[in-house]
Amino acid sequence: MRLRRRFPGVLCALLTATALAACGPTSLRDLTLRPDKHYQDKITVKGRITRTQVVGGETLIEIADQSENRLLVRTTVPVTAGVGDWVRARGVLVPESRVGDATLYDVLTADELTTTRRPWLPRIM
């Protein structure tokens, strides 16, 4: 009898959790698999800095998630984080970008870059 009373509540909680997980932020895995789906979209990604390079007044950062999916981030804001720090980058994903003499593809042009903490649950999915 108790199971019948609790079942609708448990079902609603599971459906709500599933819906919230589906509406989460864009992951680096999604961007690596189908970058064309996200071109010219304003997105926010979270990753660990693996490499940095300053070219003129711009900084190129390569970020990786826990599964080592990687993305190049181009920014003009000063970067205070170093290699190994976790950052959140917010900007527009562009199909092609020129930095110095090089042409780069699938680059996030970030207008905001902030340090953040690492994920609580590593490799949950």
Q: What tokens were used for 120?
A: 């609580």
pLDDT single digits (tens) 83-93: 999 999 999 99
pLDDT single digits (tens) 63-117: 999 889 999 999 998 888 999 999 999 999 999 998 888 899 999 999 999 999 8
pLDDT of residue 122: 65
Q: How does DSSP classify residue 68?
A: -
Give this prediction's pTM: 0.75
Q: How far apart are CA 89 and CA 7, in angstroms?
A: 41
| Helix or strand (DSSP H, E) at 3 | helix 2-22
Look at strands 86-99 and 70-75 and give their pairing: unpaired
Q: What angle do CA 74, 80, 86 make, to 5 degrees?
A: 75
For the chain, the domains span 26-115
Q: How does DSSP classify residue 40?
A: T
Token pair 């804001």: residue: 77
Count of CB atoms situated within 10 Å of the CB of 49: 21
In degrees rounded to 5, what are phi and psi of residue 12? -65, -40
In degrees rounded to 5, what are phi and psi of residue 29? -65, -45
Q: Which CATH number fits domain 26-115: 3.50.50.60, 3.20.20.70, 2.30.30.170, 2.40.50.140?
A: 2.40.50.140
